[in-house]
Amino acid sequence: MNRVDFDPVAHAGPVPSPCINVCRMNARTGLCEGCFRTIDEIVRWGSAGESEKRAVWREIKRREAALFDEPGN
């Protein structure tokens, strides 16, 4: 399953990592350009429970929509 297809609400199995091995922090947004997580979210991921991981995924989806669904993008 790729990141575009993952639905953190509907998916019942284990929560996959959003990392796509494009690890560059954007100084303007404070987000990784590959996975759209903050450095704190990246650091916590390994010890996070499933509910926290789903919450991070929901935030990733919100961020993607805000970045890519804006007029002019």
Q: What's the pLDDT tens digit per position in 26-51?
A: 999 999 999 999 999 999 999 999 99
The model carries a pTM of 0.85
Q: Are 43 and 18 in contact (CB under 8 A)?
A: no
CA 48-54-59 angle, to 5 degrees, is 105
The owner of tokens 């390994």 is 46
Of 15, 14, 16, 34, whose CA–CA distance to 24 is shortest?
Answer: 34
pLDDT band for 69, please (50, 70, 90 cuts). Answer: confident
Rounded to an integer, what distance in angstroms lies between the CA atom of residue 63 and that of residue 57? Answer: 10
